[in-house]
Chains A and B, each alone.
Chain A
Amino acid sequence: EVQLVESGGGLVQPGRSLRLSCAASGFTFDDYAMHWVRQAPGKGLEWVSGISWNSGSIGYADSVKGRFTISRDNAKNSLYLQMNSLRAEDTALYYCAKDDTYNWNDGGFDYWGQGTLVTVSS
């Protein structure tokens, strides 16, 4: 059974940093691209970032480019999101999602975690 478990969310002040983690199990992690998708309270889905199976290709939404960094450790079956210079508008539930292919830009997100909540507020 595929499982994606996010962690690392919490309350953080504007301008500070936070690192999210996603522990994956139930599939061959290094065969697939992975993504972070967020959802602000009461709002729609927003893609944040994607990373290919071997970290060779990475993409970011314009809203986080230069502030967020996605990475993965295939030996640990883990995905990460380093979030710097956080803003109030980054407040959201952050989902880790598995791609159905090895590239981040051509597949669907076939499995999702339950999300970790990030609240940016002073």
Chain B
Amino acid sequence: QSALTQPASVSGSPGQSITISCTGTSSDVGGYNYVSWYQQHPGKAPKLMIYEVSNRPSGVSNRFSGSKSGNTASLTISGLQAEDEADYYCSSYTSSSTSVVFGGGTKLTVL
């Protein structure tokens, strides 16, 4: 199964907002509200930031928000902070292979 498409890198200055896109197809992102986003710092396990497109788990800052339009999901981080610098991955259920697929990951750099 093909990975979801994410930009390899994005960057922003402290206090700014950035958006990371995650593009799939009607068999995954566009067809189901089962998109999740994960943050991974170097050498650490991933952390769930958003589930079911736009829901935030308890304890995750409200600076993180998720949305979806058609076959593209997005993660927006507002009020960028230095600790937001990490790799971000999206995932979705896909009916094309009855499995879960991840995006290739996006490295966020806080300038």
Contacts and interface: CB of A to CB of B under 8 A. Distances in A.
Interface of A: 35, 37, 44-47, 50, 59-62, 95, 100, 104-110, 112-115
The secondary-structure label for the interface of chain B is strand
Interface in B30-62: 32, 34, 36, 38, 40, 45-48, 50-52, 57
B55 to A, nearest CB: 8
Interface of B: 1, 3, 32, 34, 36, 38, 40, 45-48, 50-52, 57, 87, 89, 91, 93, 97-105
Nearest to A57: B98
Contacts of B87: 44
B63 to A, nearest CB: 18
Contacts of A45: 38, 40, 46, 89, 91, 102, 105
A109 B36 CA distance: 8
B102 A115 contact: no
